[in-house]
């Protein structure tokens, strides 16, 4: 019975390995599939409690689609080098544009997996061309550079924390960047009298999920630093779902018939900033951009002290 | 005492607390108080923005050509509270502008007085057009 | 319907004036002379966790000047007769305002005749819709007793210089207009009561925080009331911590950035590293809040000073609108262009 005892030894060895593996992993064996989703604690008023300071942790603000690392946000192609003996470089190389070159690795763009479900943004053909132009003219066109309000959903995944404050009938989203604040109306509210940067937000609860319907946008914001954009017909539906005491799952469905052929969705975790006494600090960046925007327009350039031509 | 109060209240219109009642405005830096303008034009666009609204009008010239002008209004927030919205000044409507020209001579002015051709004031709600619903 | 908030007559010590406001020790009467709500009929609204509830949109709607005008020197309160006369004049101006008298209280008859400043636009751009509350204070400042801002000599000179150059310049660069013209901020000191356009303040409360959203410049304060200590990061709005004393919210703010080297429309609102604010917010009725602020800053003032400001609550459906000032600031490039045009004219025409 040599085979049998050898099989038995193998089986025993495998079983032992499994036991060892389980013991080594330091956890109990995984439980059966959970039958109930996480249920958030309640506020004193009985609503799911999403109060706190949250922050995304990804590269979506660089580019919401999957992307390789690249040298800089603004690139200039090095022209092909041909005709000189021993030198023959037919393919242009993308180098950092002169305006950003000195930043070196601080100015580079890290790689990222993207947050768009399916990774495809369904641009209409004419709009796809505009997106490409936006990317090529990032330095002149990205509203983030000028400290303009970031719009929705970009505000959620900029590299700054934001705070959710649940009042009576009103939920505030307080973003650090440019002192931007959104008011989520939990009761009836009339349409906004004008187009706005951050939209008009109407919220309601779907179980533990805060659903926010956002309309009344202008066409001025981008979705990231890669030139993804929208028109003033933009309509966004966000879902904030608590999945643990320290995590929300965030989804945003974007619809804009002037720009996209169908709605599309992004999603990402949001992480609680649970450091004691954490606060949203000021990033009042208008002051930071005045020199770039206006320095050359007056009689004197404060940056140099010289008269402007 | 009444006279004192009248003087006092008149003074309230102008900077008791060193801030003009109309809020921030470097009027004299942008516009030339010695260069008044008076023109009528048809509205092509109104920007309902802060810190000032801007009304774009086409002004017909004697030779039949049309010049685009930008007229600066006040901030929109008080108007929103009185029921006015982005649709309240329809494209194509004619308005009269009295104000002052931009210092740099460009086709920009400040709309100190904005009226309709029938003399009624813009955004006061009694003439029908532009009234809150 | 307007309320009369009648300050108890009697001793006029600053402390008692403050106390009279703080306790709301006044009878209320509606303007038609109808029956007043019963004394004590209103009880403090509370949040679900028991704090006084300030939520809603509030605004300062009285006409009390910050500093006591020289015509009223030595007088802390107006008489009932003076108050009635003032109401008459204001009602008259209110009625005339939309019928052809434009601009400020002066009433502008024609562009040529009246001073531009304060009258740059028809008054329909301003928010004068609601009947004003009526008060007898002759100045918002109750301490010092003379109702004047106690400037240091240097700050007084700076204030005079700032007033003289307001709107006039010179403007060599974007640094020369004031912070409001630059769409930065008007600061936090006067946030609760300044602003004819956008002076609205929305309060939102959640456990551990009282948040105030100011419409103009979308300024905001998220004030922790959980007993934490001050942090150590300087900001334009400093670092505010609040706590409840009975039904009064007391907010202490320090750690301001030094922005005294910028132009300010009102020097007394400029932050410096030594600025310290103590504010007391008390809701004294369904419609009224008593707001007191004590300002001390040896960089600008020779002593602490205190203002008492009555704040009114607006209708429940009142909203704060988005204020995208910097995003729409055509005025900045325009005024710089105007300054260059002026300079070119001057150099083109030699004297």
Distance CA C243, CA C227 (A): 6
Answer whether B122 touches C (CB < 8 Å). Answer: yes
CATH classification for the domain delimited by A121-273, as one of 3.30.300, 2.60.120, 3.30.1370, 2.40.128: 2.40.128
pLDDT (average), residues B20-47: 80
On the question of pLDDT at A103 being above 80, the answer is yes
With a pLDDT cut of 70, the percent of chain C lying above it is 75
What CA dihedral angle connects C62, C65, C69 and C72, to 10 degrees?
30
Ranges of each domain in chain C: 46-61+142-348, 79-135
On the question of pLDDT at A87 being above 90, the answer is no
> What are A303's two structure tokens?
């940056």
On average, the pLDDT of chain A sits at: 91
- pLDDT-based confidence at C132, cuts 50/70/90? low
Nearest to C121 among B29, B36, B74 (CB): B74
Distance CA A68, CA C166 (A): 52
Residues of A within an 8 Å Cβ radius of B? 191, 193-195
Which residue in B has a C-alpha nearest to residue A197's C-alpha? B49
Q: Are C218 and C206 in contact, with CB atoms under 8 Å apart?
A: no
Q: Between chain A and chain C, how many beta carbons pairs sit less than 8 Å apart? A: 124
Cβ distance B80 to A194 less than 8 Å, yes or no, reads: yes
pLDDT of residue B82: 81
Q: Are B20 and C163 in contact, with CB atoms under 8 Å apart?
A: no
pLDDT of residue A12: 59
Query: How would you classify residue C163: left for phi > 0, otherwise alpha for psi between -120 and 50, otherwise beta?
Result: alpha
Q: Whose CA is closest to A211, among A54, A60, A39, A48?
A: A48
Burial class for C351, CB neighbours closer than 10 Å (0-12, 13-18, 19+): exposed
Ranges of each domain in chain A: 121-273
Neighbours of C292 (CB within 10 A): 20
pLDDT (average), residues C300-310: 97
pLDDT of residue C3: 32
pTM metric for this prediction? 0.86
Cβ distance A197 to C327 less than 8 Å, yes or no, reads: yes
pLDDT of residue C106: 30
Q: Are C301 and C148 in contact, with CB atoms under 8 Å apart?
A: no
Helix B2-13 with C80-97: angle, nearest 10 deg = 50
On the question of pLDDT at A198 being above 80, the answer is yes
- pLDDT-based confidence at A242, cuts 50/70/90? very high
Q: To the nearest whole angstrom, how far is the Cα of C47 from the nearest Cα of chain B?
A: 28
pLDDT (average), residues A161-184: 98
pLDDT of residue C13: 39
Helix (H), strand (E) at residue B35? strand B31-47
A21 in helix, strand or coil? helix
For B97-125, write each residue's pLDDT tens digit.
988 999 999 999 988 888 888 877 777 64
pLDDT (average), residues A249-259: 98
Q: Are C310 and C60 in contact, with CB atoms under 8 Å apart?
A: yes
With a pLDDT cut of 90, the percent of chain C lying above it is 61
| Cβ-proximal residues to C109 (8 Å cutoff; 6+ apart), any chain | C101
Residue B113 with chain C: CB contacts under 8 Å: 102, 111, 122
Residue A191 with chain B: CB contacts under 8 Å: 85
| Cβ-proximal residues to C254 (8 Å cutoff; 6+ apart), any chain | C230, C238, C239, C275, C276
- pLDDT-based confidence at A15, cuts 50/70/90? low
pLDDT of residue C268: 96
What fold, for B26-115? OB fold (Dihydrolipoamide Acetyltransferase, E2P) (2.40.50)
Q: To the nearest whole angstrom, how far is the Cα of A119 from the nearest Cα of chain C?
A: 31
For C210-258, write each residue's pLDDT tens digit.
999 999 999 999 999 999 999 999 999 999 999 999 999 999 999 999 9
For C151-207, write each residue's pLDDT tens digit.
999 999 999 999 888 877 899 999 999 999 999 999 999 999 987 666 899 999 999
For C53-78, write each residue's pLDDT tens digit.
999 999 998 878 899 999 899 999 99
- pLDDT-based confidence at B55, cuts 50/70/90? very high
pLDDT (average), residues C87-108: 55
Cβ distance C338 to B30 less than 8 Å, yes or no, reads: yes
Selection from B25-29, C83-87, C304-308 with the highest mean pLDDT: C304-308
Nearest to C178 among B14, B24, B80 (CB): B24
Residue C63 with chain B: CB contacts under 8 Å: 9, 12
Q: What ranges make up the beta strands (E) of chain A?
A: 52-55, 75-78, 93-96, 162-166, 170-175, 181-185, 200-206, 209-215, 235-244, 247-255, 264-272, 300-301, 306-307
Distance CA C240, CA C271 (A): 14
With a pLDDT cut of 90, the percent of chain A lying above it is 82
Q: Which chains have at least 3 CB atom pairs separated by less than 8 Å from chain C?
A: A, B
| Cβ-proximal residues to A190 (8 Å cutoff; 6+ apart), any chain | none
- pLDDT-based confidence at A30, cuts 50/70/90? low
Mutate which of C54, C204, C319, C335 to disrupt the A interface (most A C-beta within 10 Å)?
C204
Q: Whose CA is closest to B73, among B55, B60, B89, B87?
A: B55
């Amino acid at each position: 019975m040599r085979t049998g005892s050898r099989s038995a030894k193998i089986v025993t060895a495998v079983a032992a390995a499994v036991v060892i593996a389980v013991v080594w992993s330091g956890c109990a064996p995984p439980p059966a599939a959970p039958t109930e989703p996480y249920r958030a604690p309640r506020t004193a008023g009985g609503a799911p409690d999403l109060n706190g300071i949250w922050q995304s942790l990804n590269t979506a603000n660089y580019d919401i689609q999957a992307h390789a690392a690249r040298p800089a946000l603004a690139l200039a192609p090095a022209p092909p080098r041909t005709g000189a003996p021993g030198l023959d470089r037919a393919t242009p190389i993308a180098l950092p544009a002169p305006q950003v070159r000195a930043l070196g690795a601080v100015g580079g763009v890290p790689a990222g997996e993207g947050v768009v479900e399916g990774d495809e943004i369904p641009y209409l053909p004419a709009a796809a061309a505009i997106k490409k132009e936006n990317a090529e003219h990032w330095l002149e066109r990205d509203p983030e550079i000028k400290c303009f309000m970031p719009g929705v959903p970009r505000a959620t995944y900029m590299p700054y924390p934001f705070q959710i404050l649940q009042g009576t009938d009103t939920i505030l989203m307080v973003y650090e960047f440019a002192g931007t604040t959104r008011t989520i109306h939990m009761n009836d509210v009339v349409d906004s009298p004008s187009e706005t940067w951050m939209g008009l937000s109407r919220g309601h609860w779907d179980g533990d999920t805060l659903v926010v319907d956002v309309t009344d946008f202008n066409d001025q914001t981008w979705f990231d630093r890669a030139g993804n954009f929208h028109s003033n017909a933009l309509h966004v539906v966000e879902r904030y779902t608590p999945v643990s005491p320290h995590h929300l799952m965030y989804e945003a469905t974007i619809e804009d018939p002037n720009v996209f052929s169908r709605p599309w969705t992004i999603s990402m975790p949001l992480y609680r900033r649970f450091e004691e006494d954490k606060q949203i600090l000021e990033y009042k960046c208008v002051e930071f951009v005045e020199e770039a925007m206006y320095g050359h327009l007056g009689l004197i350039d404060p940056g140099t002290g010289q008269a402007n031509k | 005492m009444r006279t004192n109060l009248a003087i006092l209240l008149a003074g309230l219109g102008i900077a008791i607390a060193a801030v003009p009642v109309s809020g921030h405005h470097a009027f004299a830096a942008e516009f030339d108080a010695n260069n008044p303008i008076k023109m009528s034009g048809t509205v092509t666009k109104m920007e309902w923005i802060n810190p000032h609204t801007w009304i774009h009008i086409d002004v017909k010239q004697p030779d039949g050509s049309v010049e685009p002008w930008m007229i600066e209004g006040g901030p929109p927030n008080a108007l929103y509270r009185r029921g006015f919205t982005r649709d309240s000044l329809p494209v194509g409507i004619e308005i009269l502008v009295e104000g002052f020209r931009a210092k740099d001579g460009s086709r920009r002015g400040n709309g100190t007085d904005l009226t309709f051709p029938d003399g009624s004031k813009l955004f006061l709600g009694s003439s029908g057009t532009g009234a809150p619903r | 319907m307007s309320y009369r908030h009648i300050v108890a007559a009697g001793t006029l010590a600053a402390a008692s004036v403050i106390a009279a406001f703080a306790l709301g020790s006044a009878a209320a009467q509606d303007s038609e002379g109808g029956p007043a709500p019963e004394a004590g009929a209103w009880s403090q609204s509370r949040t679900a966790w028991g704090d006084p509830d300030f939520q809603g949109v509030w605004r300062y709607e009285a006409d009390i000047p910050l500093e006591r005008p020289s015509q009223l020197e030595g007088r802390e309160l107006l008489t009932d007769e003076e108050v009635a006369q003032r109401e008459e004049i204001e009602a008259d101006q209110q009625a005339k305002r939309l019928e052809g008298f434009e601009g400020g209280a002066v009433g502008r008859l024609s562009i040529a005749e009246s001073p531009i400043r304060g009258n740059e636009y028809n008054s329909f751009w301003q928010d004068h819709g609601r009947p004003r509350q009526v008060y007898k204070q002759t100045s918002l400042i109750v301490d010092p007793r003379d109702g004047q801002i106690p400037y240091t000599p240097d700050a007084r000179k700076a204030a005079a210089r700032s007033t003289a150059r307001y709107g006039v310049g010179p403007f060599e660069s974007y640094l020369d207009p004031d912070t409001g013209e630059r769409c930065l901020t008007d600061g936090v000191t006067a946030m609760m009561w300044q602003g004819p356009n956008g002076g609205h303040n929305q309060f939102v409360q959640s456990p551990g925080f009282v948040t105030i959203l100011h419409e103009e410049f979308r300024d905001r304060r998220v004030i922790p009331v959980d007993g934490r200590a001050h942090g150590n990061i300087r900001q334009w709005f400093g670092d505010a911590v609040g706590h409840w004393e009975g039904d009064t919210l007391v907010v202490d703010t320090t750690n301001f950035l030094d922005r005294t080297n910028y132009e300010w429309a009102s020097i007394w609102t400029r932050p410096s590293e030594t600025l310290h604010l103590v504010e007391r917010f008390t809701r004294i009725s369904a419609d009224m809040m008593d707001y007191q602020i004590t300002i001390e800053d040896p960089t600008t003032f020779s002593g602490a000073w205190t203002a008492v400001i009555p704040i009114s609550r607006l209708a429940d459906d009142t909203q704060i609108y988005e204020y995208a000032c910097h995003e729409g600031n055509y005025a900045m490039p325009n005024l710089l262009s105007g300054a260059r045009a002026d300079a070119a004219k001057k150099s083109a025409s030699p004297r």
